[in-house]
């Protein structure tokens, strides 16, 4: 799996997780969804993603988006 696929899968999981937690526990979990969405948006403009940087350092195969 490439860095791109891992980043997108992780972001999708975190969004679904935070929405589920907001329904089960507290609506404040939606702020985590906002954080993940904002991070995805800024990485589309800047090309910088903290998770991609970590994955690159541990040796995961690079993809097209995050080099």
* pTM above threshold 0.75: yes
Q: How far apart are CA 36 and CA 46, in angstroms?
A: 15
Predicted local confidence at residue 67, as pLDDT: 66
Q: How far apart are CA 48 and CA 8, in angstroms?
A: 14
Residue that has been written with the tokens 């969405």 in this structure: 37
Cα 31 to chain center, whole Å? 14
Domain ranges of the chain: 3-57
Count of other CB atoms within 10 angstroms of residue 8: 14
Write out pLDDT tens, residues 7-53: 999 999 999 999 999 999 999 999 999 999 999 999 999 989 999 99
Predicted local confidence at residue 63, as pLDDT: 84
């Amino acid at each position: 799996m490439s860095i791109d696929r891992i980043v997108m899968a992780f972001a999708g999981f975190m969004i679904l997780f935070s929405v589920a937690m907001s329904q089960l526990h507290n609506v404040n979990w939606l702020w985590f969804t906002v954080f993940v969405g904002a991070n995805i948006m800024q990485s589309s403009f800047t090309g910088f993603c903290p998770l991609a940087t970590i994955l690159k350092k541990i040796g995961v195969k690079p993809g097209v988006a995050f080099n």
